[in-house]
Amino acid sequence: MPGIPGRPTLLYHLYCGLTSVAAPLVWRTVRNKLQAADVPKTRQQERLGHASLPRPDGVLLWFHAASVGETLSVISLIKRLGERLPGAEFLITSGTPTSAALIEKRMPPRTRHQFPPLDTAGPVRRFLDHWRPDAGIFVESEIWPRLVVEGARRGIPLALLNARLSDKSVENWKKHPETARFVLDHFLLFLTQNDKTARNLIDMGARPERVQPGTNLKAMSDPLPVDQATLSDIRAQIGNRPVWIASSTHAGEEETVLAAHSELLRRWPDLLLLLIPRHPERRSEVTALLDQAGQRSAIRSAGDTISEETQVYVADTLGETGTWYALCPIVFLGGSLKEIGGHNPFEPAQAGAAVITGPGYYNFAETFAPLIASGGALQVQTSAELAEAVATWLTNQTALDKARAAAKTCVNTQKTALDAVVETLCTQLSLSSPNSTASG
């Protein structure tokens, strides 16, 4: 391993001490959330480092992702790595029940999922003792100091993939340069989403030769799955009605979407809005907004069907977004009308849709830039602008076809980027062949 990290700083020791003291309270909070999501007790114990599955024989590559978006990108990468390294096994850790459920539905070959250990001594030790990964790839901003330091001390080569740090996080790290340098020095490789993050990591103390600007891994995710039976059923219910989609909407955005839909209904009385809240548990809040707007709705989770009177179909279920995208080529993507950071526009684009977004897509700035420049995506701010964008594509098939083709072209340019990520990981972490590392 090139370079030896310096001595632990006082702040690192303080962090370890405070997290140990707070561990019982943190565990209680985490456990309650998992219980509320009906996660079995044996799986809850994974957060304490107690594995619920055996370690497979041979080389094991470990990916740690934060939540749903990161998990989707990791799944695509594991599939490609699995082809490159046919003898390797894979472990994904992620912290949310939603991401765990998603992985279960889309598990790549030779892969298993666990919840990650709390970043305290006992859970981290038990996790690493059991799994003994041959490499660890942390995704985005998931830098857990003790897990990183302890993993590297055991000789596990570590990478930070798709690295993204908020300006606030960067400033906080810069206030403690010795600790930042100490923690970052345990990574052999940083593959960043953009040049800005690469510069920030170097300014924070990362070794420049280990930092490589890349692209947003989420843009390389596989297309979302489509359930053909559901697709046929919903198509039959919709018939020949015009449709548009508002996907991954957050609190404070549905009001704008419904106002735009009200405006559009004046021109197309039979227009159907397919509304996909980002968090299905907000269904009661969303239905209350529909009642206020005076729009007649059908709720997917309630088993409602789409009738001629239905103006909004609320698709408040998990794992079906790909099916909904296959229904309609006009998609407004939420998380963007507020300062939320946006969501992956390549998911609807891969399904053949043209995309509409608000201005707050900063987490996907590099992804949206070519989409907007090529005409594959439009940016709006108000309900009037949203209604106008939808109306343009409803009335002008040529313009819609052109936008869809531009979006698809942007997607295709990203496919080779995933191969480049695989090559870099294999080279920098010595994973050139299934036998290039030894099982711990």
DSSP class of residue 9? P
DSSP H or E run through 161: strand 158-163
Question: Are 69 and 343 a contacting pair, CB within 8 Å?
Answer: yes
Burial of 107 (0-12, 13-18, 19+ CB in 10 A): middle
Q: Bin 303: left if φ > 0, else alpha if -120 < ψ < 50, else beta.
A: left
- CA angle at 396 for the pair 294 and 236, rounded to the nearest 5°: 55
> What is the sign of the dihedral through the CA atoms of 421, 424, 430 and 434?
positive
Query: Which tokens is 11 given?
Result: 């702040």
- Contacts for 343 with CB less than 8 Å, ≥ 6 apart: 69, 247, 248, 278, 333, 334, 335, 336, 361, 364
Nearest CA among 361, 216, 253, 241 for reference residue 310: 241
Nearest CA among 337, 257, 330 for reference residue 290: 257
The answer to whether 70 is a known catalytic residue is: yes
Backbone angles phi, psi at 230, to 5 degrees: -65, -40
The distance of Cα 203 from the centroid of its chain, to the nearest Å, equals: 26
Per annotation, catalytic residue among 46, 70, 89, 142: 70
Total residue length of the chain: 440
Question: Are 157 and 182 a contacting pair, CB within 8 Å?
Answer: no
**Whole-angstrom distance, CA of residue 33 vs CA of residue 53:** 22
- Contacts for 101 with CB less than 8 Å, ≥ 6 apart: 318, 319
Amino acid type, 431: L
**Whole-angstrom distance, CA of residue 24 vs CA of residue 13:** 19
**Whole-angstrom distance, CA of residue 112 vs CA of residue 96:** 15
SS3 letters for 56-115? CCCCEEEEEECCHHHHHHHHHHHHHHHHHCCCCEEEEEECCHHHHHHHHHCCCCCEEEEC
Active-site residues: which are they? 70
